[in-house]
Amino acid sequence: MSRVHVIRHKVLIENHSISQVASDLGISRNTVSKYLAQSEPSRQVSSPRPAPLRDKVSARIKELIDEWSPRTTPKQRITGSLLHRQLLDEGFQVGKTTVFDILRRHRLGKAEVFIPLLYTPGDVAQVDFFEVTVIINSVQKKVWKFLMRLMFSGSDFAWLYDRCDQLSFLDAHCRAFAHFGGVPNRCVYDNLTAAVRRRSGLHTPERQLTERFAALSSHYLFEPCFARPGEGHDKGGVESRGRAIRLQHLTPVPEGKSLDEISILLQADIKNQAASKTNRDGKTLADRFEQERRSLLALPDRAFEAR
C-alpha cells in the first residue's frame, strides 16, 4: 500500500493529527498536508537505485527455501540465521539484517488473507465484470457488465460498458461510490489487468497495482484485496449475483438506444427488487442498505478523474 494512502487513511479515517502522523512516519507536516489535498503523488522520473547484491541474495534465498521446505517441520523450520550461515558458506558477503529483512518480506508475501463469510456494515464489497448481450439500435452486441456488491446488505450497483478496460473500470467505481453515497472499507477483486500491473509468484503472488488504480484507492481510501488464483469462492457473492442479474434483469435480451439508457433501466430494476425482497430477519434489502450506508467511508470532496 502506498505511503500516500497510509497518510490519508491515518488523518481522514483514523482521525490522527497531522503532527502525530508526521512524527510516526518520520516526514514533515508539510508533506502530510500536501497529500491530504491530493490523492496521488506528482510523477517523479528517476532511475531506480541498483542493488545487484541484494537481488542475487534474494533470488538465492528463495531457491534455498524452495529446496529446504519439503524437509522442514513446525519445530525444525527455516530461520534467518540458518540462511545467513548458508549464504556465507557460499561466498556471499551479506549482513544478517539484510537476510532477515528478505525472509520477512518473503513470509509476508506467503501469508494468506481469508475473506470472512459474515460481514459487518460497510466493511466489504466484491467487484467483477461479466459478459452480457444487449441490443443497441436493433443491433445485437456483446458488452461488459460491471458489478459492485456490498456484502452486508447485498446491495448492487451495475453498469454496462463497451469494453472491459481500465477506463471503464475506474469510471464504474466512481459511479458505484456515488450511487451508494459512500465507500466500503475494502473491495475484493480477481487479478484484473486494470488493477494489477504485475504479479510474481503462483500460489501466493505479490502484486504491483497499476498507477491509476493505486491513485483511485488512495483517493477514496478503500483497501484493495485480491482473491487467490484459482479460488473463485473467495468472491463467490459477486460471482453468483452476476449470474443472477443476467437471468433476472437482462433476460430477455434488453433493447435500447444506448448502453447508458439500458444501464439506467437495469439499475432501476435492481433497486425496485431490493425494495420488495426480504431477508431472514424480515428486513428488505433496502432497509439493510440504509443500515450499511451509515458505516461507509465518506465520499471525498472532489470527484476522481477517471480519464
Task: Give yes or no: residues 239 and 101 share one domain.
Answer: no
Per-residue pLDDT, 284 = 83
Is there a domain that residue 299 lies in?
no
Per-residue pLDDT, 203 = 47
Per-residue pLDDT, 285 = 86
Is there a domain that residue 66 lies in?
yes
Task: Give yes or no: residues 130 and 268 share one domain.
Answer: yes
Which segments in the chain show pLDDT lower than 50? Answer: 201-204
Task: Give yes or no: residues 86 and 200 share one domain.
Answer: no
Number of domains in the chain: 3
Task: Give yes or no: residues 66 and 149 share one domain.
Answer: no
Is there a domain that residue 64 lies in?
yes
With a CB cutoff of 8 Å and minimum separation 6, the contacts of 143 are 131, 132, 133, 134, 160, 161, 162, 259
Per-residue pLDDT, 202 = 46
Is there a domain that residue 44 lies in?
no
The range of the structural domain enclosing residue 151 comes to 124-293
Is there a domain that residue 307 lies in?
no
Is there a domain that residue 42 lies in?
no
Task: Give yes or no: residues 261 and 160 share one domain.
Answer: yes
Of 81, 110, 139, the position where a domain reaches its end is: 110
Task: Give yes or no: residues 137 and 222 share one domain.
Answer: yes
Which DSSP symbol is given to 151? Answer: T
The dihedral of CA 197, 296, 177, 269: what is its sign?
positive
Task: Give yes or no: residues 153 and 226 share one domain.
Answer: yes
Strand 186-189 to 223-226 pairing: parallel
Length of the chain measured in residues: 307
Per-residue pLDDT, 210 = 86
Task: Give yes or no: residues 132 and 252 share one domain.
Answer: yes
Is there a domain that residue 276 lies in?
yes
Per-residue pLDDT, 15 = 83
Task: Give yes or no: residues 237 and 159 share one domain.
Answer: yes
Q: What is the pLDDT of residues 23-70, one digit of tens each?
A: 888 888 888 888 777 766 555 555 556 667 888 889 999 999 989 988
Task: Give yes or no: residues 17 and 132 share one domain.
Answer: no
Is there a domain that residue 46 lies in?
no
